[in-house]
Structure 1
């Protein structure tokens, strides 16, 4: 958990403790507040000490139980302020992948330029529908969340319309290992590689492949997107990180630029993809 995130959670906890102590009808102990709320006392302690992230309902109940319902908006703003940086998959996928994909569609629709590094799977901006299905199915099983695969696939395919709009630009790096990864049947992977071969040379796509034998100036790290130098989204197993401070954005752009030096583009990228394609027995 990031230091900034934990610090913000602890600050919210201190504010919650302050509300309990300054209750208008007299100071409440943790046990008394827990009784009012119908909670275990341990939950009150965890929230006040920054060991648990509250939900909106938790904050609303806390404000009411301490006799200060008007502070709910303040508490919720504090929560959203630091949750916007660490967006847990558990929370995001509570209703399935569809809503998450629609959020991404909105993000991308406002962007003119994206810089992306894909080290786990083919970028969603270039996935075929069949390939995307296997990606969503795998993650749904991992997170044990509702399976709305077809809704999610349609939303992802809709996002790719962005690639055909004038003035847009996707700057994409993918490691060659992504092309070999058997996260789907061979025939699906072969069709996905054919799709990649077809986008080489598109005006809106600048795609580089980092070959397996390339000398790397940096470790590859996690996959990420940089949108218009205003937001970085980093993917991890437990969450997406949304990072919007200028220094961090500049760092990720620098990472992209350094790794791009190890990549091949244009015809050379096409040759790498074609070589992998020949090795797929579809």
Structure 2
């Protein structure tokens, strides 16, 4: 996570510890507080150490358990502050796209299994350099940020080395709409589709395509990645969200598994990609 984000989590954790030590009726140990809350005591120390992001319910329960319910609003304000602003694109892209890619590389390198859903673009782990270049240029124009495109592309390509390490698995779901999206010239998209088709059969990649005509149990909504069932990274137009509380992670995994029911794999996925590619070839 970014330094600012982590510092904010640690500051909130320090405040939680302060409230525990100044609890009404006398200071509480971590295990004592955990017992009051019905938690495993390790959760208390993770929250206090800034190693886990508290939920709103966690903070309300903490304030009540230490006999200081009036502090709940203060704690919630702290949480809202760093959740809604620290990872805004304005702040993240102030120095260009390369630092954001470096942060992603660190997070991905620590993961063994990644679940990804992309509804509008080809997943970064499976992009060609030319396709990635056009994506970065589009977003640099949108946000008015520095164009460090070549450095950003190199960083994204470096991340793909993860796919060639044994014992890892990239479980990617892609909506067919992303295969049609001309966010780059047709010739670049054709090469990208060839690259995507070439990943089918890799032992580290499980690629599912959700056809446009597939029946959907949930709307396609926004893209997200789940790393080792412990961290969600989701994107919106204004910000990138890094979420690690287990309830939220579980929600995203349920969405992924629901979308997976609409996906096709193997030869069927190849057929979808080939059909889209044939439609592009005359304009390539």
| CA–CA distance in structure 2, aligned partners of residues 153 and 80 of structure 1 | 33
What's the TM-score, normalizing by structure 2?
Answer: 0.71
What's the TM-score, normalizing by structure 1?
Answer: 0.71
Residue aligning to 2:105 = 105
Residue aligning to 1:201 = 201
How many residues align? The count is: 211
RMSD across aligned C-alpha pairs, in angstroms? 2.4
Residue aligning to 2:276 = 276
| CA–CA distance in structure 2, aligned partners of residues 79 and 135 of structure 1 | 32
| CA–CA distance in structure 2, aligned partners of residues 146 and 80 of structure 1 | 28
How far residue 82 of structure 1 moved from its aligned partner, in angstroms, is: 2.6
Residue aligning to 2:261 = 261
| CA–CA distance in structure 2, aligned partners of residues 79 and 218 of structure 1 | 29
SS state of the match for residue 82, structure 1?
helix
| CA–CA distance in structure 2, aligned partners of residues 80 and 110 of structure 1 | 27
| CA–CA distance in structure 2, aligned partners of residues 85 and 105 of structure 1 | 22
**Higher Rg of the two aligned structures:** 1
| CA–CA distance in structure 2, aligned partners of residues 101 and 251 of structure 1 | 26
How far residue 120 of structure 1 moved from its aligned partner, in angstroms, is: 1.6
SS state of the match for residue 171, structure 1?
strand
Equivalent positions of 1:1-282 (< 5 A) are 82-83=82-83, 87-280=87-280, 281-282=283-284
| CA–CA distance in structure 1, aligned partners of residues 82 and 261 of structure 2 | 35
SS state of the match for residue 147, structure 2?
coil
Structure 1: give runs of 5+ residues left out of the alignment: 1-7, 16-77
Runs of 4 or more off by more than 3 Å in structure 1?
78-81, 83-86
| 1:249-268 CA-partner distances (Å, limit 9, x unpaired) | 01111111011000001110
Structure 2: give runs of 5+ residues left out of the alignment: 1-7, 16-77
| 1:232-272 CA-partner distances (Å, limit 9, x unpaired) | 01111100011111011011111110110000011100110
How far residue 221 of structure 1 moved from its aligned partner, in angstroms, is: 1.1
